[in-house]
Every structure is written in C-alpha cells, then in structure tokens.
Structure 1
Amino acid sequence: MAVRVELTRFRVLPGRGGVVEEWMAFLRDHEQAVRQTLGPEHMHVETIFSETVDSVEYLYWYSVQGEGGDDVTSSGHWLDRAHLDYWRRCIDPSFPPEDLTVRQHVVTAAVQDAIDD
C-alpha cells in the first residue's frame, strides 16, 4: 500500500493561542475518539507540533496516510466536527499552508508491515 508522508505548516490567527491550547487539550482528552476517526481516513500517524517565530504561532501537522481515505471535512463524526470548528477558529485562512519537502523517510519492517495490513 502506498502511503503519503506530510509535514505541513499552518499559521495561527493572532490572539488565538488560548483556543489552540483548548483544542489540543480537547484532542488529548478524547484520544479514543480521535483513534476512531483515523481509520476511515486511512491515517496511520498524525502528530501536531507547534512553534512560535517572531511572536507568530504556527501549527505543524505530521502525518502518514494511506491512499483512498475519507477526508476529514466529509466526516460526520462528532469529534471531527468539533476538530473542524477549532480549525476555523484558530487557523489563518489568509496564510497558505506550507508543505515541507520530504527528503528521507524510513521505517522499520515492523512498522511497514503494520501499515500494509
């Protein structure tokens, strides 16, 4: 199975750092529901990082995703609806997402076998 590995940077709207903290706490507090949403998306790994540069906050999404998964925007799951609500409240739509370039990606055979199953 082919997988897509991505790391994408999104700018947070000014003054929304507190809402970002609430969002990340929401995801941590509902970890089992998050896992339920990953299956239909064929999402094997999803990690969110943050960084502040010159007083501007950014969120980075690292993901390993299989082909043909559902898009989060078409999900009817209550968690995805809440996740997208936080997204609209926090992510700056005027700043285009920036995909970082994958230079090297290696996983162990055990991880690859788990992805292929």
Structure 2
Amino acid sequence: MIHELRIYRAAAGRMPDLLSRFETHTLKIWQKHGIRQAGFWTVAIGSSNQDLYYLLEWESLAERERKWNAFASDPEWLAVKAETEKNGAIVDTLSNAMLTPTSFSAVR
C-alpha cells in the first residue's frame, strides 16, 4: 500500500470554499474513479490554519497514475473546478509526497 500525502495551502479567506468543494463535489467524483481517501485534516494548532492535509491510498504507482489522470480529465471535475474558481484560485500552493510504511508502522 502506498499513501499519498497532499497538503493544500488555501488562498486567503478561501478555506471554507476549499472544504466545501471537497465535501460537496470532489469526494463523489473520486468515488466514481475508485480513488480512496484515508483521511482529511485541518490545522488546529500549528504554523498555518490555512493548510488542508489529506491522505490517499493506492495499491501501486500505476494505479495512482491511471485513476488520478482519469479524475483530472473528468469533465464533471473540470466544470466543478471552473465554477468554484470563477472568483479566483482556491489553492495557493500544494505539495504531495508518496509514502511507504516502515516495518514497524501501525498503518500498512
């Protein structure tokens, strides 16, 4: 199992819009493409309360490439993205990392 950690820094004042887009639209589109999320977190105490962290689960990098590319080119997603960003970008920056568990990790 591979976990992908993605960190989005919301544009100023846009965290509610980012969270709403995930809750209302993105998760449903992911489900259609078989994309599995392992969790979402916002920052209660830390360097920035404008960050959204989430984990995706993949069986392999090939699965990730196939499913993510299908999602990224899905007309429904492109329409949602355009509509939710008509007043400007929701995300300032994003980073991602592919994580593999250690031999002693509780999460496999």
Structure-2-length-normalised TM-score:
0.59
Q: Which has the higher contact order (CA 8 A, sep 6+)?
A: 2
For residues 37-76 of structure 1, the aligned pairs below 5 Å read: 37-38=33-34, 43=35, 45-46=36-37, 47-52=39-44, 53-65=46-58, 66=60, 67-68=62-63, 69-70=66-67, 71=69, 72-76=71-75
Q: Which of 31, 39, 60 does residue 35 from structure 1 map onto?
A: 31
Q: Structure 1 residue 62: deviation in Å?
A: 0.4
Can you list the C-alpha shifts for 1:36-75, whole angstroms capped at 9, x where unaligned? Answer: 122xxxx3x2133222534541112201124241412222
2-structure distance, mates of 1:5, 1:100: 6
Q: Structure 2: any 5+ residue segments left out of the alignment?
A: none
CA distance in 2, matches of 1:19, 1:96: 16
Aligned length: 94
Tell me if 1:81 matches 2:52.
no
1:90 match: 90
Q: Aligned partners of 2:4 and 2:48: how far apart in 1?
A: 25
Over the residues paired in the alignment, what is the CA RMSD in angstroms? 3.2
Report SS of the residue matched to 2:12. Answer: coil
Aligned-pair identity (%): 13
Moved over 6 A (4+): none
Amino acid at match of 1:62: L
Code of the residue aligned with 2:41 in structure 1: it is F
Amino acid in structure 2 at the alignment position of 1:60:
Y
Per the normalisation by structure 1, the TM-score is: 0.56
